[in-house]
Structure formats: structure tokens, C-alpha cells
Amino acid sequence: MAHIAFIGLGIMGGPIAGHLAKAGHRLTVYNRSIGKAKSWAEAYGGEVAISPAKAAEEADIVISCVGTDDDLSQITLGRDGVFRAMKTGSLFIDHTTVSARIARQLYVEGQNLGLYCVDAPLTGGQIGAENGTLSIMCGGAKPAVAAARIVMQAYAARIVHVGGAGAGQTTKMVNQICLAGTLQGVAEALRFAQAANLDVDKIYDAISGGAAQSWVMDNQWKSMAQDSFDFGLSVDWMRKDLGLALEEARANGATLPVTALVDQFYADVQAMGGHRQDISALVRRITRA
């Protein structure tokens, strides 16, 4: 059992930290909103820190799950960042979806301080975080990923070491590219079924066991049909993720026409007031017949 500092208790981080606590690890948590950290501690036990650095002072492992490159930079390299307090030889695992550039930067900064760093973005959504069935794509050195795997098994069904520093983040971009196209396809199929006056529940039963099956269909077809979007990864965060993929594509020469189009479709959903709605709200911009 390890002493773990966990930074960021949002819709993904909160449940993940909960699985670690249930597994018997000792946790010290920090969240920008102190009230959320206190609520988590009341539910799971553990200690609440007043800063990332304070959380990391005695920790063997620091795990972060924040929002953006700037957020990650602040909680690691900032005045009260964890890199100022972590012990030599300790492990840093980042579950935030960010640029490959900052992942590589943190690897170098950590190496200079004697820290082991793993960029480990997640897929599986809020449902996967709550059920402990996430898939994790890891970038970093083999010994660091091997050490990270031991604790990540508490909340992951699949852990894959995909390459060196930053490779986890570029793999997450691949995931989001696939997800964007699949969401648009499922949204169009649902609206087509509704326009044809078909029973959408029977349609799901008929096609979800064949070639059209996908995680999106299994987890979001019914909620999309009910216009229910008050859960999961928000449209704002998805646009952030797609922006990272499009930026990386400009650097490596890849062409992403469908991804760019779906990104603009999400801009339409934002204009409709769907900023904080689940990414399946993409269906809202397709008018019902």
C-alpha cells in the first residue's frame, strides 16, 4: 500500500481516487475547490491538503487529473507545485488529457529532479471511472510504467504502455479522433431512425450486436434518444481535446478532415448553450424530422 497524493477531484478524478482509497492506499487529496476535497474526504477518508505541494510532501506517488496544459503546469511546476515537494525516486502519474509537448517537458523536468513520470490519459468516460473499468494509454520509461501499473489496476481494465514520454497523449488524440467520427455517425443514424418512425429501442437491439456496434452506441444511444445530456465528458472538454489533435496534426503533417468538421459541429452545440453537456449532445444540431 502506498501513500498517494491525488490532485484534481472532478468527474474522473473523484471516482478514481475513491477506488484507490477502497484498495487500501493512504490518500492526501487536493482540489482547487476545497469544498469538493472535503466532501471527498468525508466519503472516503484520507487527508485534505491546502496546496499541491503540501499534498505531495510525504507521498510515494502523485497522481493528477486536472483540465488543461496550464492547469497541469501550475500544479507541477508552479510556486506551490508538486515537483517542488516530491521526494527523489517518487512517481508522478498524470491522467489529464493535454498536449504531448507538456508531457515531454514534465518528463525532462522530472528526470532532472530524480522523479519518474508517466503520461497516462484515460478513456472510458465517467462510467468507466465510476466502475473502475478505464483504459489507460501510458507514455514513459518501462520501469516507471511498471510501477504505475501496480496502482492503476485499482481503476483500470486495460493498461497499455504505448511508447516514450508524450506517446500516451498522442495515443489519446488517436482515441478522440475515432470518438469524434463515431459520435457523428451514431447521431446521424439515430436521427435517421427517428425520421423513419422506427422504434429506436428495437433498432438498438437489432444493430448493436453487429458491425455497427460501438462503445458510443452501447453507452449513449438510449440517452441520445431521450435528449439526456446531463453527465459525462463535456462538449467544452471535447473541443479542447480535438484542438490538441488538430494542433498535433498540423505539426506532424496528418490530415484530419472529419475531425475538423466535427469540431465545428461542436462549436454549433456550444452556440446552442451546450457547453457543459455530454459530448453526445452532438445530436442536438441535427434537426428532428
* Nearest residue to 103 via CA among 261, 215, 248, 233: 248
Distance CA 78, CA 93 (A): 17
Contact 114, 88 (CB under 8 A): yes
Distance CA 103, CA 165 (A): 6
Helix, strand, coil percentages (3-state) for the chain, rounded to 5, are 55, 15, 30
Active-site position among 36, 38, 142, 172: 172
Distance CA 278, CA 276 (A): 7
Contact 186, 216 (CB under 8 A): yes
Contact 21, 46 (CB under 8 A): yes
3-state secondary structure 212-243: CCCHHHHHHHHHHHCCCCCCCCEHHHHHHHHH
How many other CB atoms are found less than 10 A from the CB of residue 272? 13
Give yes or no: 38 in active site: no
Angle at 140 between CA 241 and CA 47, to 5 degrees: 75
Helices (H), 98-212: 100-112, 125-131, 142-152, 167-195, 200-207
Positions marked catalytic: 172
